[in-house]
């Protein structure tokens, strides 16, 4: 059976990431998608937001990372965002996509993105 999921898609935040000086100086929009795998049964039963991941707070935490300390690679940014998602002990795994729609590529393109999936250490230990 597939695990329950919470999706957050299209979170757009200005960040200063990239390998070029102008990217770090001028910044650009990054678009974040996050998919969290967790058991939503407790929240469904209690009808209490405290029994689930508060997606408004999640969005704010992810936005703070994107707007925060610059990194060279969106791969690094994706890992930092996945770490934020996995910080909640209820999250078993997180898939994070970082889109860089204004990447400095001298050709026409619709999107550049990195997708990573990470499992919590707690989940991996439980299946070992």
Alpha carbon of residue 31 to chain centroid: 9
Query: If DSSP codes are grouped into helix, strand and coil, which group holds residue 101?
Result: coil
Contacts of 59 (CB under 8 A, 6+ apart): 8, 11
Catalytic hit among 17, 92, 99, 100 = 100
Per the annotation, the verdict on 2 as an active-site residue is no
Sign of the CA dihedral 72, 77, 80, 84? positive
**Catalytically active residues, by annotation:** 100
């Amino acid at each position: 059976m597939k695990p329950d999921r919470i999706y957050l898609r299209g979170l757009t935040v200005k960040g200063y990431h990239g390998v070029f000086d102008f990217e770090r100086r001028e910044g650009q929009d990054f678009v974040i998608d996050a998919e969290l795998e967790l058991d939503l049964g407790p929240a469904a039963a209690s009808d209490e937001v405290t029994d689930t991941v508060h997606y408004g707070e999640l969005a704010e935490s992810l936005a703070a990372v994107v707007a925060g300390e610059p990194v060279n690679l969106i791969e690094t940014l994706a890992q930092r965002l996945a770490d934020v998602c996995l910080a909640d002990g209820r999250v078993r795994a997180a898939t994070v996509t970082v889109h860089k729609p204004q990447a400095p590529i001298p050709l026409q393109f619709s999107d550049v993105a990195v997708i990573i999936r990470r499992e919590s250490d707690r989940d991996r230990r439980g299946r070992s």
